[in-house]
Structure 1
């Protein structure tokens, strides 16, 4: 499991909640860091923050989908930008498999990661259907 977010607090929150559920978690600070690590650690699922320096989550997802070695990795976009929710799936928002709105409940995150892991296999990414998880909330201004 690879968690990509520029916020140290969010990375730690996601990591702790997933590790408590038995997941092995590695973190990256942005999309460029993710692309450098992904082939070395070979994660089962990647969560991507939408807004990050150097390389944002959508562009990172597009690059992962363009690479035959990572094309089928389950990807979830985690963002307070709820307008991205409508673009989740093939052809939109980088072809991510799911969207989780910030703020989110830890249990929602765990359910989402489990669904993405179980949907993986046979060289296909999930069931082919995208999903949006979490409450629709207004983006929080920094």
Structure 2
């Protein structure tokens, strides 16, 4: 979208969630690209050059925390603000390396405000490497039939 305030890469294995996030961010003027899992995100991130990335936790091939770890250890992507959007509520605060976490189901307006804030602030705090969250188990899908 020409004149968009920023670019967001939405990473989720649910097409419905990707579409929900995409529509709401586009209505707020963001340019939105999508990926269906962490591996696809890593394949596309250098070409797409997003300003913010939203990530699901439980995804095939490469999950959200694995993706966070790889993004944070790459000098070209370590600065990009990351929002974890997941049905799993196993954290009291966002995991290391993640700028914000939002539980599914979420208020689309809240997600848009969060992405806009992270985009406008940029990543100002030091990048911390992701620590494994062994006790974390992926939650159930929110849009299961």
TM tier, smaller: 0.7 to 0.9
- Residue 17 (1) aligns with residue 24 (2): yes
The one of 119, 124, 127 aligned to 1:126: 124
Distance, in Å, in 2 between the alignment partners of 1:117 and 1:21 is 12
Deviations 1:44-82 (A, max 9, x none): 000000000000011100100000000100000000111
Contact 1:76–1:98 (Cα < 8 Å) also in 2: yes
Contact 1:30–1:52 (Cα < 8 Å) also in 2: yes
- CA-atom RMSD in angstroms: 1.5
TM-score (norm 2): 0.80
Aligned residues: 123
Which residue does 1:116 correspond to in 2? 118
Contact 1:3–1:28 (Cα < 8 Å) also in 2: yes
Which residue does 2:70 correspond to in 1? 63
Inter-CA distance 75–8: structure 2 relative to 1 (3 Å threshold): same
- Residue 4 (1) aligns with residue 11 (2): yes
Partner secondary structure for residue 82 of structure 1: coil
Which residue does 1:96 correspond to in 2? 98
Structure whose residues are more often helix by fraction: 1
Which residue does 1:33 correspond to in 2? 40
Report how far residue 140 of structure 1 moved: 4.5
TM-score (norm 1): 0.82
Structure 2: gaps (5+ residues): 1-7, 127-138
Partner secondary structure for residue 90 of structure 2: helix
Moved over 2 A (4+): 139-142
